Structure 1
Amino acid sequence: MVDILPWQQDIWQGLIGRTQHAHAYLLHGPAGSGKRQMAELFARFLLCKQPQAAQACGQCRSCKLYAADSHPDMLRVEPEEPGKGILIAYVRELVASIQQTAQQGGRQVVILEPAEVMTLESANALLKSLEEPSAGTVFLLITHQLSFLLPTIKSRCVLQACPLPDLAQAKTWLAQQLPSLDDTQLTKLLQLSGGSPLKAQQFAEDNVLQMRADVVEGVKQLLKRQLAPAQLAGQWTKLPTVLLLDWFAQWCQNILRYQLTQNTVDLGLQDMQPVLGHMAKFVQAEQLTETHSWILERRNKLLRRAPLRADLLLESLLVRWMGLIGF
């Protein structure tokens, strides 16, 4: 059985220790902080017929059905595929299900993730169920982007922040999951993941360290005019576009900080320090700020599932990047 993550022990005790459970919880925090894992454990606890020692018993019929992923009162709502939205048809189907009596005679639990990709119509349809909840139904909404949710949705849920662990705790946990990696690799994975151990673990599985090395080399070739923006954009079309935008946005911030402090620590990870240090000699702060805003705007559009072509977006990004130093 999956255990609660070490950095979530206090949150867990607060959830299960409530004398009366709310009809809706909204777990929010950075991607990779363990929100979904906690939601699944909480759902199992809520459905268990005889929870013991602050966890589900694992032996009752409800627990066995849950373990077999066949519990009729455990409902999950997710996009049809990654990158898509949660459509109103999914919410209508959910609403119809929770209007029925729980088949196991206890609670019905709904996990909806990620809540921020609900369409406006889906959110409004769900709102009706949150305003007039069915008896015995508990909603567990999960979001990585709390600001994207309607205020009316947030106001009808118990908000539960799920923060990241500190660096030492994150590295200890990550080392246990990835024993073949050395300390340098673990540190870089955590730096690239913004301190998220679960995201760092996924980065390791997705070979993001090699991806990062290839992207850094591509940027160097671009600035040396060994590759044109269109060529490099073509090479990057299969890479995660949001991740690339994250890196370029971070590099903009690194240059700005370095221009103010002249401290190489502010240039970020060592792999890009020589490039960013060189660019800092030529780039104007106003241009850099405009580019940073442009990147964040496109990133937000992608997160909101706007239909942007990756090749054209990346080519525009690289043209802007070269323009920072007058190319």
Structure 2
Amino acid sequence: MAEAYPWQDSLWQQMAGRAQHAHAYLLHGPAGIGKRALAERLMARLLCQRPVGLDACGQCKSCMLLAAGSHPDNYVLEPEEADKGIKVDQVRDLVSFIVQTAQLGGRKVVLVEPVEAMNINAANALLKSLEEPSGNTVLLLVSHQPSRLLPTVKSRCVQQACPLPSEEMSLRWLEQALPECALEERLELLALAAGSPLMAVSLHAQGVREQRALVVEGVKKLIKQQQSPTQLAESAWKDIPLLLLFDWFCDWSHLILRYQLTQDEEGLGLSDMRKVVQYLAQKSSQDKVLAMQDWVLAQRQKVMSKANLNRVLLLEALLVQWAGLPGQG
């Protein structure tokens, strides 16, 4: 059974309690808030032969087959490799499943995650099934970045925003999930995860606080000309996920610009880069910061779209820009 998260209680009652279900739902929201678990829980409920209240019974033939990963009326579509796209051939296989008759005589339920991993051809191949799925089929689409989806995909689904829990609720949950961490550490992890508690747990597992400290130290040495862009790009940061790096630099460029406009020290976020942000805000022209921010956002989009990028050259280009920020030229 998929885990039930406390911040999803009201949403679960709303969705699982429907007398009739739409043929396609788009569950969207930030990464790390439990959308996949919500979809799996709903999938189990829709396939269950003897539901108990709003939940699947966990004991009927359908539930047992689902738990074993061999339910004939269930289909999960996701990238074949981590951080890769969903291919058009995969979608065609899914369409073939959708047109079949349910083998257990009930519903067929499809889970697609993340939907934005489909390229245009793959998304177009799914459109007809989204509009008119065969038989009693329900498609559950999970998206972390709904802005990247084709309007034609979104328009064929009931769009359901999934809530980001409050800081208080997240911290209560993290106290149970990460009992080894002090409150200060949990607060920092939650801030690094942009408020997503499951992402905070994932970041903790990959040692994100140590990675962040390494990056902050490198940026400070870069600005002091104690370390070159090439040195940092080629060795010091080689094990840090590219998207994580671009998330941080995107956030820092935003903070520099914000401080230039407001001089508001309260809005400078985590204290580890406060002095660097203030220094660069004071020593850099606003035009240069804006141009750099545009570039960072464009490259981050390429990273998110799984473009085939040369990691070292991309990081070196980023760091050259940052090293060149101070000064009015």
The TM-score normalised by the length of structure 2 is 0.97
Aligned partner of residue 227 in structure 2, secondary structure: coil
* 1:221 match: 221
* 1:317 match: 318
4+ runs of 1 displaced by more than 3 Å? none
Q: Offset of 1:31 from its aligned partner? A: 0.6
- The alignment status of 1:209 with 2:244, answered yes or no, reads no
Supply the distance in 2 between the matched residues of 1:132 and 1:23 (Cα, whole angstroms). Answer: 8
Deviations 1:37-89 (A, max 9, x none): 00000000000001112100111011111112221211100111122111110
Supply the distance in 2 between the matched residues of 1:130 and 1:232 (Cα, whole angstroms). Answer: 46
CA RMSD of aligned residues (A): 1.2
Q: Offset of 1:93 from its aligned partner? A: 0.7
Supply the distance in 1 between the matched residues of 2:201 and 2:256 (Cα, whole angstroms). Answer: 28
Q: Offset of 1:271 from its aligned partner? A: 0.8
Supply the distance in 2 between the matched residues of 1:253 and 1:150 (Cα, whole angstroms). Answer: 28
* 1:69 match: 69
Supply the distance in 2 between the matched residues of 1:14 and 1:206 (Cα, whole angstroms). Answer: 35
* 1:195 match: 195
Aligned partner of residue 127 in structure 2, secondary structure: helix
Supply the distance in 2 between the matched residues of 1:245 and 1:284 (Cα, whole angstroms). Answer: 21
Contact 2:72 2:103 (C-alpha < 8 Å) held by counterparts: yes
With 40-49 and 67-76 compared, the bigger mean Cα shift is at 67-76
Any unmatched runs of 5+ in structure 1?
Answer: none
AA partner of residue 323 (structure 2)? M
**After superposition, where does 1:14-93 map in structure 2 within 5 Å?**
14-93=14-93
Q: Offset of 1:17 from its aligned partner? A: 1.5
**Length, aligned pairs only:** 327
AA partner of residue 42 (structure 2)? F
AA partner of residue 275 (structure 1)? V
Identity %: 53
Q: Offset of 1:285 from its aligned partner? A: 1.3
* 1:265 match: 266
Supply the distance in 2 between the matched residues of 1:56 and 1:113 (Cα, whole angstroms). Answer: 21
Deviations 1:216-269 (A, max 9, x none): 111111111111101101122331111111111111111222223333222221
Aligned partner of residue 174 in structure 2, secondary structure: helix
Q: Offset of 1:3 from its aligned partner? A: 3.4
**After superposition, where does 1:129-168 map in structure 2 within 5 Å?**
129-168=129-168
Alpha carbons of 1:29 and 1:173: their partners in 2 closer, same or farther (altered >3 Å)? same
